[in-house]
Structure 1
Amino acid sequence: MIYVDPKILARVNKWLTPFFDEKTQTEIKEMIARDPEKLEDSFYKNLEFGTGGMRGIMGHGDNRINKYTLGKNTQGLSNYLRKRFPGKNIKVAIAFDCRHNSKEFAKFVADVFSANGIKVFLFSELRPTPELSFAVKYLDCQAGIVLTASHNPPEYNGYKVYLEDGGQLVSPQDKEVVAEINSLQYQDVNFGANENFIEFIDSEVDEAFAAASIKNGTFGTSKEARENLKIAFTSLHGTSITMIPKVLEQAGYTNVSIVKEQAEPDGDFPTVKSPNPEEPAALKMALELADKENSDIVIGTDPDSDRLGIAVRNDKGEMQLLNGNQTMVLMTHFLLEQWKKAGKLNGKQFVASTIVSTPMVEKIAEHYNVNYLEGLTGFKWIAKMIKDHPELEFIGGGEESFGYLVGDFVRDKDAVTATLLACEIAAQKKAEGSSMYNYLKEVYNQFGNYREHLISITKKGKKGAEEISEMMKSLRENPFKEIAGSKVVRMDDILKDECTDFITGKTSALNLPKSNVLIYFTEDGSKIAARPSGTEPKIKFYISVNTIEKENFTETLQKKIDAIAAQLNVN
């Protein structure tokens, strides 16, 4: 006899009523009979909104992505929009990525909006996430949805929500939407589509987005320099193939080699273990193509085209991968230098980053007398900064997880425009007889040598979530007094909104939205952050170390990183 927790069974039984389709009921009954562990994980909680919206494994149940959980979210969002914009003809834009079921899910979502009398602009084929953010503003919409799970494994999908500024949901709007969703039963969802309210969109928005990308992402590079830059590009089976080659060509980058085996959108991501440009293995085929074609730069994007990975040739002529912090440092420094040359810096501009990213960006901003703003992990917080500070002009910003945004015409990380910016940097440096790699060394030489390292530990399912919770609890209740031989001088507990000065013993408020993040700062300038991922079953540790040494610093910094990882017991 297979035992099923009565609380789980009560949730399951709601899905075995006539409202749910026959196929759903049949497959749930199979789980009851054959796989109680999967049943428990599918029903033990409602799928929640994290840093990137709602994201999870596709399947049946409250803790899965499916027609009904998406429908309930969309009905709740429809009710919220009606209250937020009373008497207005509400419009919503919807896009989707290459994942299994994304196109079908997008139509389910469109159906529910249309059934509620809301006008829907629906992309007829897959498009990059940043284009959806752009479309919300371009089409004067009150909200936007993109069906994507970014770089998660193939069994995942997700639902990102944007509001009228083109940025993702943040507090307090996210709580208001969740309250609307939680007040509903599945039977409250109106799936009866009104096709008169659904309009398919494509080329007009494509052309406008491409033009805006070129306007924001180019900086006077000569025609010859652009034509001389050799680029190897891979879309990793994702959406960027619909836009990046086109934008590069329109901007004058004609020497582009594409990894053909990865150019076809495919939700199985058959050529990679993970379609994540943060993982070196994901760019293996692009690196091989670059060596074959003697390319100057490699660029790879994740499935929904908001993150990009970059490799450039080092002093030995070998391709070397840049991490997200290095890419962000180069892009921010280059942008500020361009703005300075153009005489556009007057103290009323800002750049942005996140609490787990390299401290080096702030140092660069200070050098150029540009405001630096820092927020929680997730680009929705950078979008909120743009919205909250209309008195300041946004130049650019990024985070360590391979995302960057140039200008404010998009309000999410944008691998399309960032790809163009990377090529502008590489082309100009090559034309000067230098390289992107040498440029990075120059920036380090000016501002100090920083190194960052990310450790990510996967803990799947209910048990994994409990283990992650215990790890964070232990770090919070038993704080380190010393890390890798250096005294801890400060600890920021973002969940408690509390900064503790270990020298004076005093505490102060951080004035950040509460989030389950802990950050240690040591006497020698190291910074160690721990946080559970909001979109994946992972706990992440972010390590940043630095030195003012000019020579033989690489080994010194690596030893520091290794020592910190060993003490955390997570290496």
Structure 2
Amino acid sequence: MGTLDTETQARIQQWLAPEYDPETVAQVQQLVDNQEETELLDSFYKELEFGTGGLRGIMGVGSNRMNKYTIGKATQGLANYLIKQFPGQDIKVAVSYDSRNNSQSFGNLVADVFSANGFQVYLFKELRPTPMLSFAVRHFGCQGGVMLTASHNPKEYNGYKAYWNDGGQLVAPHDKNVITEVNAIQSVKDIKFDRNEANIQLIGEDFDQIYIDANRRLSIHPEAVLAQKDLKIVYSPIHGTGITIVPKMLKAWGFEQVHVVDEQAEPNGNFPTVIYPNPEEDDAMAMAKQKGEQLDADVVMATDPDADRVGVAIKNPAGEFQLINGNQIGSLLTYYVLSSKKALGQLKPNDYIVKTIVTSNLFAAIADAHQVKYYETLTGFKYIGEVMTQLLGQETYLVGGEESYGYLVGDLVRDKDAVNACAFIAEMAAYFKSQGKSLYDVLIQLYLEYGFYKEKLISLTKKGKAGADEIKQMMADLRADLPKTLGAIDVVEVRDYELSQATNMKTGEKTKIDLPKSDVLQFITTDGDVISARPSGTEPKIKFYCSVKEKLSFSSEYGQISNRLDDKVNTMMADIIKD
């Protein structure tokens, strides 16, 4: 262990103490005996921290791993903070979990600690999606909640999403304050692990109907669903929680031809049919697309393990099912909601939508055309939820989304909701089919009307401490040598969200960015292109986003302009990514 820094070595020694259970101590000792320094470094070089998606990491022993002690410590820290924030109140919390390995036992562990602290715990009896946890926090009037999930990460990961009393994930100052409380716990003896069964109430299947009924009341065009009740829908939960509620929701909405991908229907934390359980990956959607082709379906959908993100495949003019990206799905939903409400005379002056800073500006163009206000937030749906909470009672949230396949129609929860989105995507398909249009037709219509927006995301994976250091250095290098051109196009503005300032590259003038600090750089070109760089808050990745736009005058030009935009994106990305 000679090459390990002193802090890492101190953490390792702490985990070899008798206050940890014998099995944990034995596992750590084996790593030490085998001199597995890389694994020891990655497991102990830091404490897991809350990012844009909460606590997330590889399962195993160590302070930087998901296990009984890191989860117990996080829960005790959260409990201590809740007690301080709500003095003298009877504190209530909701807890749910997804299909990942250990999620159910971790969920029960969280319930143990909360109940031992005297909290009333609403624990889902069986696995349920993340949005239902957010809904439960609001429904039961809880002060907080926890969802055990690592979303779409590989199978070796698990995670812990902490929620506040509005049903949204922790944001400033609560996120950092909870970390302070967690770090203040110096011994596992300070964690109350002894379950108090009297404080735990199980949430059963009857709660599903409450959630379904509340969503069903949001339907904009129930008459279109009735007219197209035989709309052929293919759905895959990709071995996750979606199977427990999405088919029920679609049936309650009025759809009678919902076809589940049987091979991916059973919840399974090993995700045996996919490499990554991520609906934005072609591999994860392959079985659903194949079933869609066999059935000549109208729309194909798949949700990630905790059912807060949804991927969609639609039929193109060649009759093939093609995946559409998160910006396209969100733009279609935004257009459907705003255009429908406008046609029905339901748009109000205080209505608004929300998008993140790395999401397509097509959202904004659609909102502007409908004279609806839009807000931009940092990356992470928790920031969209924060806007919803801040504006509650003053303005009306209609729809929001982010390029990473997360959407929400209506304000029942404070997180992205793939169950809600699946219902509205199906309703949208039914509505436009009644008008003789496919979703592909509508997408082209958007490009003709608002401009052809084309986006690309490149993610570079950098694992472990060495990877984290490399990502940090990449961002530092970018800041030290800001590109003057990208793809031979002048950069006219640089937005540094870490410094909360935008710089005019021609005049040097600096203006304030009125958003919380975040490690994000954005480059704006003379053509209005937007290129962003940011380390992921939930995965060991650095992400580069590029969005370009060109006028589309005729649908016959789609292929030609699409290829031209692809070339432009690739050239610009090559100038900014130095890997």
Q: CA contact under 8 A between 2:221 and 2:431: conserved in structure 1?
A: no
Q: Which has the higher mean CA deviation after the structures are superposed, 177-186 or 547-556?
A: 547-556
**Aligned-partner Cα distance in 2 for 1:94–1:77:** 13
SS in 2 for 1:50: coil
Q: CA contact under 8 A between 1:217 and 1:418: conserved in structure 2?
A: no
Matched residue, 1:97? 98
Q: CA contact under 8 A between 1:489 and 1:503: conserved in structure 2?
A: yes
Q: CA contact under 8 A between 1:225 and 1:430: conserved in structure 2?
A: no
Structure 1 residues 482-503: Cα deviation after superposition (integer angstroms, max 9, x where no partner): 1111110100000010100112
Matched residue, 2:391? 389
Shift of 1:346: 2.4
Matched residue, 1:271? 273
Aligned pairs for 1:179-328 (under 5 A) are: 179-185=180-186, 186-328=188-330
Q: CA contact under 8 A between 1:216 and 1:417: conserved in structure 2?
A: no
- Letter paired with 1:433: G
1:31 aligns with 2:39: no
- List, as ranges, runs of 4+ consecutive aligned residues in structure 1 with deviation greater than 6 Å: none
Matched residue, 1:553? 561
Instruction: In structure 1, list runs of 5 or more residues that go unmatched.
Output: none
Aligned pairs for 1:137-536 (under 5 A) are: 137-185=138-186, 186-390=188-392, 391-536=394-539
Cα gap change, 1:441/1:221 in structure 2, threshold over 3 Å: closer, same or farther?
A: farther
**Aligned-partner Cα distance in 2 for 1:401–1:328:** 10
Matched residue, 1:60? 61
Shift of 1:32: 0.6
Matched residue, 2:124? 123
Instruction: In structure 2, list runs of 5 or more residues that go unmatched.
Output: none
SS in 2 for 1:247: helix
Structure 1 residues 277-321: Cα deviation after superposition (integer angstroms, max 9, x where no partner): 111111000011111111111000000000000011111211111
**Aligned-partner Cα distance in 1 for 2:421–2:350:** 23
**Aligned-partner Cα distance in 2 for 1:543–1:222:** 36
Q: CA contact under 8 A between 1:455 and 1:570: conserved in structure 2?
A: no
Shift of 1:420: 0.6
Q: Which has the higher mean CA deviation after the structures are superposed, 176-185 or 445-454?
A: 176-185
- Letter paired with 1:298: V
**Aligned-partner Cα distance in 2 for 1:424–1:318:** 21
Q: CA contact under 8 A between 1:98 and 1:266: conserved in structure 2?
A: yes
Cα gap change, 1:238/1:232 in structure 2, threshold over 3 Å: closer, same or farther?
A: same
Q: CA contact under 8 A between 2:75 and 2:114: conserved in structure 1?
A: yes
Q: CA contact under 8 A between 2:131 and 2:308: conserved in structure 1?
A: yes
Q: Which has the higher mean CA deviation after the structures are superposed, 214-223 or 289-298?
A: 214-223
Matched residue, 2:52? 51
- Letter paired with 1:240: G
**Aligned-partner Cα distance in 1 for 2:322–2:541:** 27
SS in 1 for 2:228: helix
Q: CA contact under 8 A between 1:98 and 1:126: conserved in structure 2?
A: yes
Q: CA contact under 8 A between 1:218 and 1:420: conserved in structure 2?
A: no
Shift of 1:219: 2.3
Structure 1 residues 344-381: Cα deviation after superposition (integer angstroms, max 9, x where no partner): 22210100000001011111111111110000000100
Cα gap change, 1:440/1:221 in structure 2, threshold over 3 Å: closer, same or farther?
A: farther
**Aligned-partner Cα distance in 2 for 1:564–1:234:** 35
Cα gap change, 1:549/1:293 in structure 2, threshold over 3 Å: closer, same or farther?
A: closer
Q: CA contact under 8 A between 1:213 and 1:416: conserved in structure 2?
A: no
Structure 1 residues 428-454: Cα deviation after superposition (integer angstroms, max 9, x where no partner): 122221111001111111000000000
Q: CA contact under 8 A between 2:535 and 2:541: conserved in structure 1?
A: yes
Q: CA contact under 8 A between 2:228 and 2:430: conserved in structure 1?
A: yes
Cα gap change, 1:80/1:7 in structure 2, threshold over 3 Å: closer, same or farther?
A: closer
Structure 1 residues 184-228: Cα deviation after superposition (integer angstroms, max 9, x where no partner): 122211112111101111223211111122222452343543323
Matched residue, 2:10? 10
Aligned pairs for 1:552-571 (under 5 A) are: 552-569=560-577
Q: CA contact under 8 A between 1:221 and 1:427: conserved in structure 2?
A: no
**Aligned-partner Cα distance in 2 for 1:534–1:217:** 33
- Letter paired with 2:539: E
Q: CA contact under 8 A between 2:225 and 2:427: conserved in structure 1?
A: no
Cα gap change, 1:239/1:503 in structure 2, threshold over 3 Å: closer, same or farther?
A: same
**Aligned-partner Cα distance in 1 for 2:341–2:194:** 52
**Aligned-partner Cα distance in 1 for 2:228–2:17:** 61
**Aligned-partner Cα distance in 1 for 2:167–2:236:** 27
Q: Identical aligned pairs, as a percentage?
A: 48
Shift of 1:569: 3.6
**Aligned-partner Cα distance in 2 for 1:556–1:447:** 18
Matched residue, 2:113? 112
SS in 2 for 1:180: helix
Shift of 1:90: 0.5
Cα gap change, 1:8/1:428 in structure 2, threshold over 3 Å: closer, same or farther?
A: same
Shift of 1:540: 0.3
**Aligned-partner Cα distance in 2 for 1:205–1:140:** 15
SS in 2 for 1:492: strand
Q: CA contact under 8 A between 2:358 and 2:532: conserved in structure 1?
A: yes
Q: CA contact under 8 A between 1:234 and 1:300: conserved in structure 2?
A: yes
Q: CA contact under 8 A between 1:145 and 1:161: conserved in structure 2?
A: yes
**Aligned-partner Cα distance in 1 for 2:211–2:479:** 45
**Aligned-partner Cα distance in 1 for 2:445–2:12:** 60
Q: Which has the higher mean CA deviation after the structures are superposed, 213-222 or 523-532?
A: 213-222
Task: Give the aligned length.
Answer: 571
**Aligned-partner Cα distance in 2 for 1:2–1:9:** 9
Q: CA contact under 8 A between 2:454 and 2:548: conserved in structure 1?
A: yes
Cα gap change, 1:224/1:192 in structure 2, threshold over 3 Å: closer, same or farther?
A: closer
SS in 1 for 2:273: coil
SS in 1 for 2:57: strand
Shift of 1:41: 0.8
Structure 1 residues 59-117: Cα deviation after superposition (integer angstroms, max 9, x where no partner): 11110111111111111111111111111110000000000110001111111111110
**Aligned-partner Cα distance in 2 for 1:464–1:410:** 35
Shift of 1:343: 1.5
